[in-house]
Structure 1
Amino acid sequence: MNVDPDALDSDALDDAALVALHLRGAPTARQPAFATLMRRHKRWLYRLIVAQTGEPDEALDLVQESFVSAHAALARYDPARSLRAWLARIAINKCRDWHRRRQVRRFLTRVLPIEAAERVVDPAADAESRAINRDDLARTLAGIARLPAALREPLLLCGVDDLSHAEAADALGITTKAVELRIRRARAVLATDEGRA
């Protein structure tokens, strides 16, 4: 695909065309094509990651990491599938990695001597404690954060990021029926938590 980059209106192209342009287009069109994909998807990806982590500052880094990984793997993207679901899967994996690293830091703060623990302490732990004690929105967010990933992820993908059940299923590697069931269970758990509050 050879496209004159000066005549290119990348905003008018769909995601699959931008991916193709980035992979096989003229060298001067490749970077603008990927930049358009990033501009098009960064806001909802940021919202997804903030909802997964509860950490706006960390989410900025995770969005960047997600796009770096997407760029490296773009040749493996199947244009017959939703790019949004594909990016969501990458971002969710980045969030899972982030949660694992955070759990390791917390574990180390409990088992290492106090002097060593200061080097690995997670300053976000205090912010989490304060957020749980705020208004109804904070309680709801805390309830979502406490959900197991299997329930939290479909709820956020469909409820916050407006992915269809089919796109969420694709992003998570499960069936559409499983997405529906997990969303129903997540809402039931949240309703029970609110009843106790």
Structure 2
Amino acid sequence: MTSDLSHYSDRDLAALALRGRQDAYREFLTRYKVPVFRLIRSNVGDEGDAMDLTQESFVAGFAALGRYDGERPFRVWISRIALNKCRDWARRRAVRSFFTRALPLESAYDVAGDSPAIDVEAADRAELRRVRKAILDLPGNLREIIVLRGIEELSQAETAEMLGVSEKSVETRLYRARAKLRAMLGE
């Protein structure tokens, strides 16, 4: 029962998937796995964690597919799930970080051994890392706006819908995020 589903709408694909068509799930992955991965990687910074969170996002999305509103783009819906997974990941990371810092001094030697080697790469790669770090250091609500508008190039309306806020809020947060980034980067 495998056929080319690339011309099907998101709503039609969801209906097929809910009826047990595995090729419909594969089509969703084909369409949206890369943009969801980019969105997550831009939020968490680590490629391995981003791959895990992408998988978790699709598993959760497919499990909740019955609640998907076919009137809206699937990309917006699955991206909201992905952003929630990023928020959960950040909360878990903050808790782990607290306990790591609370380790006895004897454990500090193990942590110190994980520091990165001296950077000998080209200046533009170093600058890219500096900007990525600054983006990761932004508060979550500002980081999401920068990622969605600046990196994923979503429209203001798409970003507002994805985050469940007004377009004016998107505009305000984007202004604040850019100002904070400029200050962090010393520009």
TM-score, with length taken from structure 1: 0.82
1:116, CA displacement in angstroms?
A: 7.4
Alignment RMSD (CA, Å) = 2.6
User: 2:44 is matched with which residue?
Assistant: 53
What's the CA shift string for 1:106-138, capped at 9, x where partnerless? 11112233567899x7x9x846x97xx962111
Candidates 166, 191, 195, aligned match of 2:157:
166
Give secondary structure in 2 for the equivalent of 1:11. Answer: coil
Matches within 5 A, 1:61-140: 61-114=52-105, 126=115, 135-140=126-131
Whichever residue aligns with residue 51 of structure 2, its letter is L
Identity %: 46
2:2 is the counterpart of 1:11: no
Unpaired runs of 5+ residues, structure 1, are none
C-alpha distance in structure 1 between counterparts of 2:171 and 2:178, whole Å:
11
* Runs of 4+ more than 6 Å apart: 115-119
What's the CA shift string for 1:123-162, capped at 9, x where partnerless? 9x846x97xx962111111111111011110111122122
* Greater Cα offset, 62-71 or 152-161: 152-161
C-alpha distance in structure 2 between counterparts of 1:136 and 1:114, whole Å:
34
How many pairs align?
Answer: 183
1:55, CA displacement in angstroms?
A: 0.1
Whichever residue aligns with residue 19 of structure 1, its letter is A
Unpaired runs of 5+ residues, structure 2, are none
